Amino acid sequence: MRALDAIDRRIVRLLQLDGRISNATLAKEVGLSPSACLRRVQLLEHDGVIRGYTALVEETGQEPQTVVIVQITLEKQTEAFLSAFEAAVRKCPDVMECYLMSGGFDYLLRVAARGAADYERIHKDQLSLLPGVARIHSSFAIRSVIRAGNGAG
């Protein structure tokens, strides 16, 4: 992968803030012609720097989601344990994000639940059944302060 210059980093940041920004507006913001800007965006997509675009959807008409941050510690940190855990967690429909971490625990998960009772179900039916799990530590988010793509929640 090529190194990103200041213009590439600015393009990425602006697209993170507004993935629907027009190419003309994006080009103006970063000081490029529209054609040069479009080429840069296409290269960033091709190189995997930009992996995709998403829509943030408001949960209207439904019970609001509770965000639960879950720290997972595995029994062992061998490649076999890591691979087995990662393959299984990818199949958990309520796990929105999963990160391999350094520090005091092995994985950090963001789980979306419809409240404490729903999280209890997720914990019992999904998280506690993941292979190699030694410890699960869960923290419930009180409110969103910054959310990717919109600045505030």
In this structure, the answer to whether residues 89 and 122 fall within a common structural domain is yes
pLDDT tens-digit profile of 35-74?
A: 999 999 999 999 999 988 877 666 555 566 889 999 999 9
What residues contact 13, with CB distance under 8 A and at least 6 apart?
A: none
Beta partners for residue 109, in sequence order:
70, 98
Q: Please give the residue range of the domain that contains residue 109.
A: 66-140
In this structure, the answer to whether residues 81 and 127 fall within a common structural domain is yes
Q: Write b or e for each residue in 127-138: b if 16 or more Cβ atoms lie within 10 A of its Cβ, otherwise e.
A: beebebbeebeb
User: Based on the structure, what is the number of domains in the chain?
Assistant: 2
Residue 109 resides in a domain: yes
Average pLDDT, the chain: 89
| CATH code at position 12 | 1.10.10.10
Average pLDDT (7-18) is: 92
Residue 151 has pLDDT above 50, yes or no: no
Residue 153 confidence (pLDDT): 42
| CATH code at position 87 | 3.30.70.920
Residue 108 has pLDDT above 50, yes or no: yes
Residue 59 resides in a domain: no
In this structure, the answer to whether residues 36 and 80 fall within a common structural domain is no
Order of strands, sheet of 95-100, starting from the edge strand that comes earlier in the sequence: 95-100, 107-113, 66-74, 133-140
In this structure, the answer to whether residues 15 and 77 fall within a common structural domain is no
In this structure, the answer to whether residues 76 and 10 fall within a common structural domain is no
Residue 26 resides in a domain: yes
Residue 149 resides in a domain: no
In this structure, the answer to whether residues 26 and 83 fall within a common structural domain is no
Residue 18 resides in a domain: yes
Backbone angles phi, psi at 77, to 5 degrees: -110, 35
Residue 56 resides in a domain: no
Closest by Cα among 42, 33, 37 to 10: 37
Residue 61 resides in a domain: no
In this structure, the answer to whether residues 73 and 42 fall within a common structural domain is no
